[in-house]
Structure 1
Amino acid sequence: MHPAPPAPRGIHTEPATRHAAAQRHPPPDTLTPADRYAELFEAVQRAGVFADSKTFPDCAPRGAPEQILAAYRRDCTAPGFDLAAFVAAHFEPQRPALASHAGAPAQDLRGHIDALWDALTRHPDRHPHRGSLLALPHPYVVPGGRFVEMYYWDSYFTMLGLAASGRTQLLHAMTDNFAYLIERFGHVPNGTRTYYLSRSQPPLFACMAELCEGCGGQGALRYLPQLLREHAFWMDGADRLAPGQAHRRVVRLADGTLLNRYWDDRDQPREEAWREDVATAAAAPQRPAAEVFRDLRAAAESGWDFSSRWLDAPAPGSDRLQALASIRTTRILPVDLNALLHKLESRIAHLAAQAGDHATARGHQALADARHAAMDRWLWNEDAGAWLDLDWPAQRPRPALNAATATPLFTRTASAAQARRLADTLARRLLVPGGLATTEQCSAEQWDRPNGWAPLQWIAVEGLAAYGLDALAGEIRTRWLRTVQAVYGREHRLVEKYALRAHPEAQGGSGGEYPLQDGFGWTNGVTRQWL
């Protein structure tokens, strides 16, 4: 049995129960590896002791961290000090997910995915001690490859596959884990590592609660307190903003309306990509390094890390670092984030009314209505027939189309007329042989052409189907499944992203900061649902 999160307003819990829960879960240790290991962390990353910058912050210390740091400070200036040997003696790297499945024999694709869930499931009692991994109360599924912790938006699409595979108990456990994270930290972090606590990811907890309810779990009303708290996280500071001002994730536009942006509360290099971020900031000497770091981190909160969507200079063939150094994520009000927040506000209003809390219901319905109007005014572009991200300081749309434009269909924010216009635009500009393209831009970034991603296919297909646009929805779904099946038939694996080419040439995707990863949570989830 999973302990229930706190009840909605008007439903009482016993103080003794809350006290017992607090004793079971003492205040978490939130120090990140860079906080904890100070100059040792920077020395390891700068020296490239590990080929992947993510390896060291994920390591489990073999002893007390403070003693390891003291030993480093004592020994590092000694003649012949060997940093790599010191790290090997004091830290244990985490194994990639599915390492033992690399040579697995071919199976039917459906059976292969069903067999992967156990291989990708992690159990809290087996967590390494004193590392960066955040403790969770229940089992969960990781994406795969180098990603051996639970991620926010990945998990919703993974959970779709758990539902299709009949693994509803694990689905419910994961939903309770996300409720726990909101209770513990006030938001869902990007992933369950201390170095991810300064940011979140696209807010899909409302969708998880609906999925859990639809699979025989607790009603979504059970999660109303967490939905309210997540909304408060995204809207922090909104009531203090004058027109033209921004605070954290909220922007008040010139007409007084509110929309949201991606953000990160830190402005240092990402710990899991330290060397990469330092190099990117160095490629933009005209910009303060902290500004570049903040925009890189904000793009990581979006889940689209990285894409021409966030860049000022994504010219084809340009130097990757120079292009990435032009990143401007915090200047951009994204379509997908605001659509998902519209759904969150609408869902809170519905659940609060169900609970009899009519003041909360009215308040959040008013917020949803105001956001809807703001999106229509600022993000819908009649000439393009699409929803476009907004450069808010310049008050002009970002003209480059990307697949996030379909999110207002998924969240039921679009009108029927907008949905029809958008379907025509998608078919004309983003439909490619392998499914729905991520953007119109080819680049060295992984969230650009030629790559396609499972969550974007799901959002577009489900959104189109919700408006009765079944022909295009079916075409995208069919093309995507053929892509996944073609690669699986040849390589016997599912991967993080795919190059959306005609099927004899279909292959795993490329680009970005790290090699293509096997596993893979959200590919498994979307594919299993559609099979």
Structure 2
Amino acid sequence: MRSNRDAIRAAQDSPSGTAHAVPPVTPAAPDGPNAQAVAEGVHPAAEAATREPAVTRLPCPPPHRLEGCAHADALSPAERYGELFVRVQASGIFADSKTFPDCLPLAPPEEILARYQRQRDLPGFSLEAFVAEHFARSTVPDSHYVSNPDQSLREHIDSLWPVLTRDPIDHPPWCSLLPLPHPYVVPGGRFGELYYWDSYFTMLGLEASGRHDLVRAMADNFAYLLDSYGLVPNGTRSYYLSRSQPPVFTLMTELFEAQGVEPPHAYLPHLRTEHAFWMDGAERLCPGTAHRRAVRLPDGSLLNRYWDDHARPREESFLEDVVTAHRGDRPAHLVFRDLRAAAESGWDFSSRWLDESAPGTPASLSTIRTTAILPIDLNALLWHAETRLATLCERAGDADGAARYAAMAHARREAIERHLWHPELGAFVDYDWHRGARRQCLTAATVMPLFVGLASDEQAAAIGATLRARLLAEGGLATTCVRSGEQWDQPNGWAPLQWLAIQGLRRHGDEALAHEIADRWLSTVAGLYRREYKLVEKYRLRRKGRHALGGGGGEYPLQDGFGWTNGVVAMLLQHYPEHPAAGTRAGVGANGN
């Protein structure tokens, strides 16, 4: 095992600046159990049986999926600056790896790179001075916002929407920020761009606050991204274009149907495009093979996984990924892709994606194997998308399309029942397709089938009992049963998972447990607001004394803002208007917090 210093030196000393740290960008290659699982010693004799067939590449390779894509010049910073990018990220000039990819170049990138190549070996050359001369930091717009301790929690949330809203402006040339046509709401803190699955939960809060204009604007932005790139990227930065996030655009469009202000089929072409993105290559798969996000199991079942088209460090977490890969004994490119795939899941990071084979202490992040795992929440969302597409196609008079999507939904549901339902555990779990076994770890992702209507009432009752026995914590619903140091594990709780659980349980008639989770979560959020006048990205579900605490772990400090917390809390206060959190002000706690 190499030291962190060795890992950094490998990135700096690579002759091309890419050999160790940024493998060359290539089109997405098939990866079967033989490609990764054999490397992990899983299937030592399975090469011939599991080799994936060659597949035809799309005419415009990822991330620019559309032929003749108008945005094919949206290169990422690593692609633009090559060895300069690697050296800056490995140097530690910036405390946060996201800072440099978000910087604004002050000259054409090719000119900056040429200057660097001329100057880098000159006596007295200062990389820090060179970067300061040629790049400007991206700054958060100055809102002059100061929390008002006299505001109630609900008033505080309503006042935050203008602070977190960004209007389309002249797009700075050559920067990593992707242009959008309409206003949008950002999460806050270091996250100053539009994020995909965050935005659904933010939009719930905008609905609760009566900001229907922003809800429509954000949905139209996502439609624009699908038209432009063939996917909704993780976030609106060029370095996110190789991956998406949990496909919640279908849920977003349902908000309009509930309002009755938008024809349900208005976004049908975009829903088709997104589904095609997730299913790319599926029709050509033989049993036991995979391509990108689609996996055909040996029994012929078709399910999906998270993926990323690049096998190199994430540009926004460059140094962290290099160090993680060099802490383990797996080929670095496998670790890089699995880290990126976990980022597509939104659960970055969690024991959910780590190797379960090692007993005792939680596995190291370097054992991450996301692409070997078929997640229950992703497949439940895709089932919901297929069901919704079938309905919308029928309304639009497309009988063939309706039948095709209905058949896909039916087949997916059967595959989920067969492979992802764990009757002994009383929960839906993820499935390790490399090892041919259900994952044993219980996670809050088990609530997604309840939320989208996939689970039966009997399954919902079993899940409710499991949640109460194993994941219900003092401050809300826990994410997993594991304390690993990663932010999507104990002791943290996250707003989106609270909402999915509460609404999923309510859908199946378990109002008591739904109310219990909502009560504990609102009390947690109100307790921190009472003391610090803010909402944050995640919360510790165990209090210190009588004080609620913000969550810990992960790659970056706790972020204030915070989009999806605001959204979920606003909607919960609408559902539970009598909860003491609704009136929480400075010095007046909820439930004694």
Normalising by the residue count of structure 1, what TM-score does the alignment of the two structures yield? 0.92
Task: Tell me the equivalent position of 2:114.
Answer: 70
Task: Describe how 1:51-130 pairs up with structure 2 within 5 A.
Answer: 51-96=95-140, 100-101=144-145, 105-130=149-174
Task: Tell me the equivalent position of 2:201.
Answer: 157
Is contact 2:148–2:156 with CA below 8 Å preserved after alignment?
no
Task: Tell me the equivalent position of 1:409.
Answer: 450
Task: Tell me the equivalent position of 1:429.
Answer: 470
Task: Tell me the equivalent position of 2:62.
Answer: none
Equivalent residue letter for 2:474: P
Is contact 1:298–1:330 with CA below 8 Å preserved after alignment?
yes
Q: 2:536 aligns with which of 495, 505, 508?
A: 495
1:6-43 Cα deviation digits (max 9, x unpaired): xxxxxxxxxxxxxxxx9xx9435320000001111011
CA–CA separation in structure 1 for the residues paired with 2:522 and 2:377: 24
Secondary structure, aligned partner of 1:325: helix
Q: CA deviation at 1:101?
A: 3.5
Task: Tell me the equivalent position of 2:334.
Answer: 291
Q: CA deviation at 1:239?
A: 0.9
Change beyond 3 A, Cα 1:164–1:103: closer
Secondary structure, aligned partner of 1:293: helix
Q: CA deviation at 1:445?
A: 0.3
Q: CA deviation at 1:381?
A: 0.7
Task: Tell me the equivalent position of 1:505.
Answer: 547
| Identity across matched positions, percent | 60
Task: Tell me the equivalent position of 1:475.
Answer: 516
Task: Tell me the equivalent position of 1:307.
Answer: 350
Q: CA deviation at 1:91?
A: 1.0
Task: Tell me the equivalent position of 2:567.
Answer: 525
Q: CA deviation at 1:215?
A: 3.1
Is contact 2:350–2:488 with CA below 8 Å preserved after alignment?
yes
Bigger Cα displacement from structure 2, 288-297 vs 388-397: 388-397
Is contact 2:147–2:534 with CA below 8 Å preserved after alignment?
no
Tell me whether 1:201 sits opposite 2:242 in the alignment. Answer: no
CA–CA separation in structure 2 for the residues paired with 1:213 and 1:517: 33
Task: Describe how 1:8-19 pairs up with structure 2 within 5 A.
Answer: none
Is contact 1:263–1:297 with CA below 8 Å preserved after alignment?
yes
Task: Tell me the equivalent position of 1:11.
Answer: none
Q: Which has the higher helix share?
A: 1
Secondary structure, aligned partner of 2:303: strand
Equivalent residue letter for 2:423: E
The total of aligned residue pairs comes to 505
CA–CA separation in structure 2 for the residues paired with 1:106 and 1:82: 49
Equivalent residue letter for 2:549: Q
Equivalent residue letter for 1:523: T
CA–CA separation in structure 2 for the residues paired with 1:164 and 1:383: 39
| Structure 1 gap segments, 5+ residues each | 1-21
CA–CA separation in structure 2 for the residues paired with 1:121 and 1:83: 35
CA–CA separation in structure 1 for the residues paired with 2:393 and 2:434: 35
Change beyond 3 A, Cα 1:221–1:104: same
Bigger Cα displacement from structure 2, 164-173 vs 85-94: 85-94
Tell me whether 1:221 sits opposite 2:265 in the alignment. Answer: yes
Task: Tell me the equivalent position of 2:35.
Answer: none
Equivalent residue letter for 2:555: E
Tell me whether 1:274 sits opposite 2:318 in the alignment. Answer: yes
Q: CA deviation at 1:313?
A: 5.9
CA–CA separation in structure 2 for the residues paired with 1:75 and 1:104: 51
Secondary structure, aligned partner of 1:256: coil
Q: CA deviation at 1:126?
A: 4.8
Bigger Cα displacement from structure 2, 242-251 vs 27-36: 27-36
CA–CA separation in structure 2 for the residues paired with 1:103 and 1:112: 8
Is contact 1:136–1:177 with CA below 8 Å preserved after alignment?
yes
Task: Tell me the equivalent position of 1:396.
Answer: 437
Bigger Cα displacement from structure 2, 494-503 vs 408-417: 494-503
CA–CA separation in structure 1 for the residues paired with 2:550 and 2:411: 42
CA–CA separation in structure 2 for the residues paired with 1:461 and 1:289: 40
Tell me whether 1:263 sits opposite 2:288 in the alignment. Answer: no
Secondary structure, aligned partner of 1:500: strand
Q: 1:439 aligns with which of 468, 477, 480?
A: 480
Q: 2:217 aligns with which of 169, 173, 180?
A: 173
Is contact 2:143–2:163 with CA below 8 Å preserved after alignment?
no
CA–CA separation in structure 1 for the residues paired with 2:511 and 2:358: 35
Task: Tell me the equivalent position of 1:231.
Answer: 275
Q: CA deviation at 1:212?
A: 2.7
Equivalent residue letter for 1:117: W
CA–CA separation in structure 1 for the residues paired with 2:243 and 2:504: 27
Is contact 1:97–1:144 with CA below 8 Å preserved after alignment?
no
Q: 2:502 aligns with which of 443, 455, 461?
A: 461
CA–CA separation in structure 2 for the residues paired with 1:59 and 1:516: 22
Equivalent residue letter for 1:89: E
Change beyond 3 A, Cα 1:513–1:442: same
Change beyond 3 A, Cα 1:143–1:85: same
| Structure 2 gap segments, 5+ residues each | 1-65, 574-593
CA–CA separation in structure 2 for the residues paired with 1:30 and 1:250: 26
Change beyond 3 A, Cα 1:179–1:424: same
Task: Tell me the equivalent position of 2:8.
Answer: none
Tell me whether 1:514 sits opposite 2:568 in the alignment. Answer: no
1:288-310 Cα deviation digits (max 9, x unpaired): 11000000000000000000000
Is contact 1:269–1:277 with CA below 8 Å preserved after alignment?
yes
Is contact 1:98–1:145 with CA below 8 Å preserved after alignment?
no
Secondary structure, aligned partner of 2:188: coil
Equivalent residue letter for 1:518: D
Tell me whether 1:31 sits opposite 2:75 in the alignment. Answer: yes
CA–CA separation in structure 2 for the residues paired with 1:26 and 1:163: 33
Bigger Cα displacement from structure 2, 418-427 vs 498-507: 498-507
Change beyond 3 A, Cα 1:283–1:168: same
Equivalent residue letter for 2:571: Q
Q: 1:341 aligns with which of 382, 385, 396?
A: 382
Equivalent residue letter for 2:564: W
Secondary structure, aligned partner of 1:55: coil
1:372-410 Cα deviation digits (max 9, x unpaired): 000000000110000011111111111110000000001
Q: CA deviation at 1:95?
A: 2.1
Change beyond 3 A, Cα 1:37–1:460: same
Equivalent residue letter for 1:435: G
Equivalent residue letter for 2:120: C
Q: 1:357 aligns with which of 382, 398, 410?
A: 398
Change beyond 3 A, Cα 1:89–1:103: farther
Tell me whether 1:50 sits opposite 2:94 in the alignment. Answer: yes
Is contact 1:98–1:120 with CA below 8 Å preserved after alignment?
no
Q: CA deviation at 1:188?
A: 0.4
Q: CA deviation at 1:314?
A: 9.7
